[in-house]
A = this chain, B = another copy of it.
């Protein structure tokens, strides 16, 4: 049950109230792939520049992540620089260099084209459509997006929404896409645009999941230390889709458990800079925190 992810592989330069880091491994595909790799084999489709260090590629390889779909283009790697406020939920983008990402057209290796579980990371909806067009058959497609694409590429995004099963957005993206300020109404409006399931990520407040027949609400894992929220959403998606691929259980209960696994993976991500924490844990740590999470949300017994 392998997972295909298309998204960015990037350099991130990050300042938080607790410190800073320069040109560390970042990007939606990186966080997703590392998060999902605990659960199932992962294949990445993306682009890097000539300046991308071998060391970062090795980090993927150590996790058995398939890199055949990563194209090395001439030029520099996509680079994002951001700063988090005292209120760690708020961040500013200071610099954004698309570099090799501009003009990138995904071209899936032949053996990637029978994909079962697909994650369309936060990239141009036209690029997401291109990926969908190259896949011959798939069981489940989960898609992420952001305010920029909702504003600038709504037609493309609407086409994508008709062809996916699940959309992952945050509160403000759900409001922007639907035009509804109440989050329940916002999600219901988005369900009408195509996806069978809408996941609303609320950072430290948890996740809401909507389908036509069910709502699921879960808090986040309460943490004493949040060093760097970068990649929380993408590694959440990685843990989520990873668990779905591992279990093959697409029932409502299976989806709920996958959301909790995603929540647990994201809780590790934010405990250190970049992918540092994700790179240091094992599946056993995830299972342990999953049990602890089940315990700290339980009021049934």
Give A residues with C-beta under 8 Å from B.
86-88, 181-185, 188, 202, 204-206, 208, 214-226, 253, 256-257, 259-260, 294, 296-301
Contact = CB atoms under 8 A, between A and B. Distances in A.
Contact of A297 (B205, B216, B257, B301): B216
Nearest to A257: B299
User: Would you list the 4 A-B pairs with minimal beta carbon distance, nearest first?
Assistant: A217-B219, A256-B299, A205-B205, A184-B224
A222 B226 contact: no
Contacts of A86: 181
How many copies altogether? Answer: 2
A224 B182 contact: yes
A216 to B, nearest CB: 6
A215 B296 contact: yes
A141 to B, nearest CB: 23
A255 to B, nearest CB: 9
A205 B208 contact: no
Contact of A183 (B183, B222, B296): B222
Contacts of A215: 222, 296
A260 B298 CA distance: 11
Contact of A219 (B182, B185, B218): B218
Given A188-B224, A205-B205, A206-B219, 15 more contacts: A86-B181, A87-B181, A182-B223, A182-B224, A182-B226, A183-B204, A184-B224, A205-B219, A208-B219, A208-B222, A214-B296, A217-B220, A217-B296, A218-B219, A257-B299
Contacts of A87: 181
A88 to B, nearest CB: 8
B216 A296 contact: yes
A298 B208 CA distance: 12
Nearest to A217: B219
Contact of A225 (B182, B217, B300): B182
14 contacts: A182-B224, A184-B224, A202-B205, A205-B219, A214-B296, A216-B297, A217-B220, A217-B297, A218-B219, A219-B219, A256-B298, A260-B299, A294-B299, A297-B297
A216 B181 contact: no
Contacts of A221: 217
A226 B256 CA distance: 26
A204 to B, nearest CB: 8
Nearest to A86: B181
A249 to B, nearest CB: 12
A257 B217 CA distance: 16
A299 B259 CA distance: 9
Given A205-B202, A206-B206, A253 B297 contact: no
Given A214-B296, A296-B216, A184 B253 contact: no
